[in-house]
Structure formats: structure tokens, C-alpha cells
Amino acid sequence: MLIAAEHVLTGEDGDDHVPALGFVDIADGMISRVGTGQQPADVTLADGYLLPGFVDLQVNGFFGVEFQIADADAWARVMTRLPETGTTACVPTMITAPVSSLADALRTAAAFVPDLPPGGARVLGVHAEGPFISPARRGAHNEKWITDPTPSAVAELAEAGRGLLRIVTIAPEMPGALTAIEALSAAGVLVSVGHSDATAAQVGAAAERGARMVTHLFNAQRPLGHREPGVVGQALTDPRLTSGLIVDLHHVAQAVCGLAFRAAPGRILLVSDAVAAAGMPPGEYLLGGELISLPADDGAPPVRRDGTIAGSALRMDRAVANAVRSGLSLPAAVAAATRIPADLIGRPDLGRLRPGAAADLVWLSPQLRTRATWIAGRLVYTDGAAGTLAAVRA
């Protein structure tokens, strides 16, 4: 199947140039050719942009489902619907809970994830955001379940999540954290600095031991100071670190998002940090076993009863649009939602349009809203708008 589009963004372009007419050729679920110019096509997209599917490394839930407490059917429902947002691969996230409870949740998920039905977003592993975090920067996490990353606690989670645990967020100033970072990194787990009151030097020490990511830059971490750079300062200046950023323009102001993109080009990736309330009407939902409320304001994040922000209701296509509003070029915004997270998670077969990559594609409208999504070359979503159905039929 050959898909032609007005603009094809490969995910690998980081400049300001939006290419003209192009095409992607698909065979056996993989991309066989990518090029520019006119070609006889099976599918012609009349406007907008064709690009790689989004890769979200931090998503707690969506469409009323919280991954941490959901069963296989609920996970499958979310994976089937995430392509509506342009997401074709993700890392479901579980937040701070007693170590034994997290271990049980990991074991439960590990038993059914390999058997999730095809056609939904790819599950790339699980992100344990806690419990090895700082009480001083806990955000919406439950303080009574925070604990030190002792060798036994780390080993329990690693064993329970064998083959599934992919990212762990740790505050590097916690007792035993540097040893834990080294052990997890050696085991192939991506360690992310987050929910941390660490100094810049402590974050640098974490990177020396193997940490490669920073969880939701600016949020729940020591801010940038002109004498003590903190987590933010080290994240923006250390070439070993790539930072997730929640670009809903509520967690981080638009101007500050723009500063981050300019300060660390190619080292910022877009995450949704979406929770069960995402994609749902205003009301009450759960996060980490506690109630959160989604307000009626469009795009506003859910909050705890005390007003603390508790995840987001952000779609990845909207994150890309907001990144562009913050001053990032469209090709660079696409890379931040595709190639950069795919590379960080060790999946060079995802997040780009090039021969040999998986044929996970998204068609965005000129307003950067998802119109259609393909996974492994198979159409899994169309918005049904006028002209869309006819255009995507192959």
C-alpha cells in the first residue's frame, strides 16, 4: 500500500522545513520506501500531515481506566482507543504505592500484556513512577507509601516486572538511590530522575550511574536557581539527560516550554502524563487509589481535593500542537513525540518514517488533530469526517 500526502514528516527532521508532497510505501506491516514527489497511490490524503505514530513514555490511564488497577480487558480497551489521539506506542505508568502492591500490579500486567489483542497501541513496558521519590516533592503521590530504594525493594519490583518493567522514576538524593540507579540501569531499565529535591550535583551523579531521563521537567522537582541549578538546571544542560515535558500549558507555562525547547534542543520529549480522566467528561476519577476531579475547563488538568495537579487530560496530538504554539517548529515537535522517545526507550524501529521501520502512521489535519492512524500498516482509526473515510480506504 502506498500512501501519498501533502506533507510527509519523517520524525527525523529537526529543522524548520516542512516538506512538500511525499509518500510512504508499506509492505508486510513495515515501511519499504519513503520519498517526495508524485507517485501513483492507493491512498491519497488531501491535506494535513502524514507522520510517525506518537510514542508516549508516561501515561497512567485514559478513557476512564487507571492502568495500575485495571484488568486485561480494560487495558485492551484503552490500547484500542489510544490511536484516536495519534498514539501508537506507550509505556503505561503506575505511581507510588506500597512496594508489595506495585509488585502485584506488575505481575498481573506481565501475565496478560503479551496476549493483548493486535490492532491497538503497542505496550513498550511499564513505568514505575515511585515509590522511590522525595516526600518533599511528592506532588499528587501518597506520602505514606514513599520508601527508600533499598536493594530488597528494588529487587522485588525488578523481579515482579521481569520483561515488563521498562522505566523507573527515582529521586537520586534518597538513601541508596545511586546504587539502585546503577543496578536498574545494568538490568536494562531506563532510570528517570523525578519527584526529586536533588541538587544539580546529585542529578549529575545519577547520570554518572546511568540515569538518562528526567520525569515531567519542572513539575515536582527542585527548580532552576541562579546559584543552585537544581534538577531543572542539570536536566537542561547535561547532554546525558532527556526530559519529558507535559505541554498542556497548565503544568508548564507556554513561555517556559519555549525556553526548555531552546535550551535543550533534541533532548525534550513530549509526554501526556494522562490519567483515567483523560478523554472523559468532567467529574471524579481515581489516581493511585485516591479521588481526583477533572474540571470543566477544556485542557485543564485533574486535581486532588487540596488543589494539587494530579496528572493530565492531555492528548499527544494536542501536545504537538501546543509545542508548536510554544515556538517549536512542526518537524521538531513531531520528533519530540516520536523519534526522541523511541530512541530513548531503545526502539529505533518506531517513531520515524524510513525503510525498515514499523508502519505506525498518523494523519494529522492542518489544525494538528488526528484524522487517521495506522499500526503495522493496518488502519485502526479514522475520525469519519467528510472525505476522511474515502481517503483512507485502500
Cite the DSSP H helix spans in the chain: 72-81, 99-112, 151-160, 177-186, 200-209, 230-237, 254-263, 316-325, 330-337, 339-344, 388-392
Distance of alpha carbon 362 from its chain centroid, rounded? 16
Look at the block and give the residue holding cell 487517521: 372
Please, are residues 86 and 9 in contact by the beta-carbon 8 Å criterion?
no
Please say if 273 is a catalytic residue.
yes
Please, are residues 122 and 89 in contact by the beta-carbon 8 Å criterion?
yes
Choose the catalytic residue: 25, 56, 273, 317.
Answer: 273
* Packing angle, helices 200-209 and 230-237, rounded to 10: 50
Count CB atoms within 10 A of the CB of residue 377.
20
Residues 6+ positions from 325 with CB-CB distance below 8 Å: 249, 254
Q: What angle do CA 157, 167, 292 make, to 5 degrees?
A: 85
Could you say which DSSP state residue 309 is in? B
Active site residues: 273
